Structure 1
Amino acid sequence: MNRPDATDAAQHADAAQHATETDLTHLRRAIALALRSPLPDPNPRVGAVLVAPDGSVVGEGWHHGAGTPHAEVEALQAAGPAARGATAYVSLEPCNHTGRTGPCAVALAEAGVARVVFAQPDPNPTAAGGGDTLRAAGIAVTGGLLAAESEAVNRVWTRSAQLGRPYVTWKVAATLDGRTAAADGTSRWITSAPARADVHRLRAMCDAILVGTGTALADDPRLTVRDADGRPLGRQPLRVVLGDRPLPTTAELRSAEAETLFVPGHVPGEALAELARAGVRHAWLEGGATLAAAFLRDRLVDEIIVYLAPTLLGAGRPLVADLGIGTLADALHLDLVDVARVGPDVRLTLAPARREA
């Protein structure tokens, strides 16, 4: 949940009225630096700029991944003594907790900065409160400028922090009539090579790929990020298998290509809780119709990516299993977020429709 603070809300509104063009320029630079931070990573993407009283930039930084110095600390290291009296522009509210690294709010205060301007308030209750710590140290703080632009950099991370669980994207490839496999079980390949390459591109931005034992046994997938020739590319997401049936020792998911986590049971919420404890922020669900239906029934799908091939089968595996919906009035409605053509196929990006208050 976001930190409820009426005082902060008022300060953010006031800040928006009194922001100078200089403030916005340096904050936009901090947000641009945040885009250099890697994905996937359990931490947010953050950029920081330190500006001396004469207007010169004396330090910049961005977060390079879990366990490395945060953006503010990297900027402070670059600035050295010039940080004293400077204004720090940060894309996300400086953190207020000690993890692998110390709290950035304290580091800024100890460095003697005179003012801090940040964009997005930190939605993570564990790390929030940096602005208050800085104010208590006598530092002028302006928060909430360009918050929407900064939040867009950390769209998935922000939503995961608010939910207290991994953000879940369900990906499925199907024919135009909603079949994921033919009547005889064949499913390779329903969609085109460009669509499969697009899947690997999106997979690479996730922390974990999740399937059920049914899919693991039926399809024997690798669940890695690969190039067009099948070679593994870069850092591999965690592979997660949900269910109780054992996989044979020869299964692709037991290979050394990537780490695999076996989660017993069939309860989506419990699986996501375990992934959250493992630091997973974004789970990519590639399970079959039954597992997808379980997540949908429990309202645990945040985004749906459907690749539709211009193909008809008329029979075969359905796109999704029984959702427990008996009448049209109870249908699960979706908002269409994006439509794109990928080779001969179409990619639909959808989200569960917002419920009326």
Structure 2
Amino acid sequence: MFDAADHAHMALALRLAERGAFTTSPNPRVGCVIARGGEILGSGWHQRAGGPHAEVFALREAGEAARGACAYVTLEPCAHHGRTPPCADALIAAGVARVVIAAEDPFPQVAGRGIGNLRAAGIQVDTGLQREAARELNRGFFSRIERGRPWLRLKLAQSLDGRTALHNGQSQWITGAAAREDVQRWRARSSALLTAAGTARADDPRLTVRLPAGVDFQPPLRVVLDARLDALAPGCHLLDGSVPTLVVHGEGAAVPAAYAAVECLPLPLEQGRIPLPRLLQELAARGVNEIQAEAGPALAGSLYAAGLVDELLLYVAPLLLGDAGLPLLRLPLLSDMAARWPLRLLEQRQLGEDWRLLLRPLPGAQAAP
């Protein structure tokens, strides 16, 4: 069904879509190429939520040459009026003869309607070219729509002996500058950054994105778990109101005056703790696609044992902290090796003297024994 030119044009569309990694949330990242044979007539990508979609940019560049041409789109063109008009209608009006789509859009207002409208207009539509790559690019969007919760990435940094901090909690800095700079780009692609009261109290983190001047990004929502609303000291960075911040707490807790610059979200506690599945559902309802959790071993372990972690971003530094240091995760005690938690290594990369590992739990291997 697909020839070499089809594959090349869709690969370009996927690379274009990646350019919106820091700016499109809650919308998906989408790229589009208009071509005739091996000739590219126009291209574009969705640059910012609320702005024109990828198809509009590509059609503008192609102009009248789009008539009779083929459009390559990484996600099914929208078929509804949101903040922008339907892209399926724009492709029909432009007179394209064929549309190649990488992945179908599960969003209820699209979900097959874009494809149906194109075919009803007499346009040939072929789907599935590089589908997995397109879904991977938008794994947070697909997770939010299909599972009702965001994609959760757990960011961790450890010594070679598996410690994240000294016994007194001191952890700055385990990794070097190159690794810390890399974290900023992962933060920038996230819709929200999640931490817990203990980490906030110990480290007073800013939990913001710091990238070189000129790099455009949307500040992720800071999410802090503070069950009793008593962990954040007045004047701490997470209460400064510099970026949108959500403090999640138990119902009935009184909101201190020091929390005036942030939004507080009450949830019913379960055994004195904020229910993590309910938290993720609430964040999905707010349009959060990807969460990056940066927390201590207690919250990290709770997320992992609950089966809520989709991938681990693990930085490993060539140093030792000793067996009195804090562990990477607090997980349930295992008495049999058959109950261990296996992971799949997707990528490893050296950053300065440190190593970055990207891992994902194997299906069915996360739930606590």
1:94 alignment partner in structure 2? 77
- CA–CA distance in 2 between the matches of 1:338 and 1:308? 13
Report the Cα offset of residue 350 of structure 1: 1.4
Residue 345 (structure 2) aligned to one of 320, 326, 336: 336
Which residue of 238, 259, 272 corresponds with 1:253? 238
> Following TM superposition, by how much is the alpha carbon of 1:255 offset from its aligned partner in structure 2, in angstroms?
1.8
Residue 113 of structure 1 is matched in structure 2 by 96
Instruction: Measure, in 2, the Cα distance between the counterparts of 1:55 and 1:193.
Output: 43
Q: CA deviation at 1:250?
A: 0.6
SS of alignment partner, residue 127 of structure 1: coil
Q: Please point out which of 48, 55, 59 is paired with 1:76.
A: 59
Q: Which ranges of structure 2 fall in alignment gaps of 5 or more residues?
A: 251-273
**SS of the residue aligned with 2:32?**
strand
The match for 1:135 among 105, 114, 119 is 119
Match of 2:276 in 1: 268
Confirm or deny: 8 A CA contact 1:208 1:239 kept in the other structure. Answer: yes
Distance, in Å, in 2 between the alignment partners of 1:125 and 1:256 is: 34
Following superposition, the deviation at residue 47 of structure 1 comes to 1.7
Q: Does 1:67 align with 2:50?
A: yes
Matches within 5 A, 1:223-302: 223-226=207-210, 235-246=218-229, 247-265=232-250, 266-302=274-310
CA–CA distance in 2 between the matches of 1:76 and 1:164? 33
Question: Is the contact between residue 72 and residue 99 of structure 2 (CA under 8 Å) also seen in structure 1?
Answer: yes
- Give SS of 2:14's match: helix
Given the superposition, is the C-alpha separation of residues 315 and 46 from structure 1 closer, same or farther in structure 2, using an over 3 Å criterion? same
Judged with a 3 Å threshold, the aligned counterparts in structure 2 of structure 1 residues 163 and 324 are, in CA distance, closer, same or farther, namely farther
1:98-177 matches, within 5 Å, as: 98-129=81-112, 130-177=114-161
Q: Which position in structure 2 is the counterpart of 1:11?
A: none
1:4 aligned partner: none
Contact persistence 1:63–1:69 (CA under 8 A): yes
Report how far residue 233 of structure 1 moved. 8.4
Task: Tell me how many residue pairs correspond in the alignment.
Answer: 336
Q: Provide the TM-score with structure 1 as the length reference.
A: 0.83
Aligned-residue offset at 1:352: 0.6
Q: CA deviation at 1:258?
A: 1.9
Distance of 2:97 and 2:158 partners within structure 1: 57
C-alpha distance in 1 between matches for 2:186 and 2:122? 44
Give the 3-state SS of the residue equivalent to 2:89 in structure 1: helix
Distance 2:38 2:312 in 1: 46
Whether contact under 8 Å (2:190, 2:292) holds in the other structure is yes
Is 1:46 the counterpart of 2:46 in the alignment?
Answer: no
Q: Which secondary structure does the structure 2 equivalent of 1:264 belong to?
A: strand
Residues 233/114 of structure 1: CA separation in 2 closer, same or farther (3 Å cut) = closer
Shift of 1:219: 1.6
Q: What does the per-residue CA deviation read over 1:92-143, in whole Å, with 9 as the maximum and x for residues that have no partner?
A: 2212333222322233223333321222222444432121221123222111
Q: Which runs of 5+ in 1 are unaligned?
A: 1-14
SS of the residue 2:50 aligns to? coil
Provide the C-alpha distance between the structure 2 equivalents of 1:267 and 1:85, rounded to a whole number of angstroms.
54
Q: AA paired with 1:347? A: R
Is 1:193 matched with 2:172?
A: no
**Aligned equivalents of 1:28 and 1:305: distance in 2?**
26
Shift of 1:166: 0.9
Cα distance in 1 for partners of 2:216, 2:166 equals 30
- Looking at structure 2, the residues matched to 207 and 313 of structure 1 have their Cα atoms a distance apart, in angstroms, of 35
Following superposition, the deviation at residue 280 of structure 1 comes to 1.3
How much does 1:82 deviate? Answer: 4.4
